[in-house]
Amino acid sequence: MTRELKEDVIRTNQKIDFLKKQIAEVSDPREKHQLQGKLKELRYLQLWHLKRMGRQEVS
């Protein structure tokens, strides 16, 4: 399970990096706002994965 969580963290981090690049390239304010919302969701997801990893290491 820990390996899967690490892979999830890596995959989420790659998505975050990709979204950051997209946000930097977008000029439409509405689209930029939507991408920033997705970025926020991914950051919360990443925190959730890291929290789960921390719980498994303690157990």
**If you write DSSP's letter for every residue of 4-43 in order, what string do you get?**
HHHHHHHHHHHHHHHHHHHHHH---HHHHHHHHHHHHHHH
Rounded to whole angstroms, how far apart are CA atoms 59 and 50?
14
For the record, the structure tokens of 32 come out as 């930029």
- Would you place residue 57 in the very low, low, confident or very high pLDDT band (cuts 50, 70, 90)? low
DSSP state of 46: H
- Tell me the pLDDT tens digit for each residue of 8-46: 999 999 999 999 999 999 999 999 999 999 999 999 999
pLDDT at 59 over 80: no
pTM: predicted TM-score of the whole model, two decimal places: 0.85
Sign of CA dihedral 50, 48, 11, 34: negative
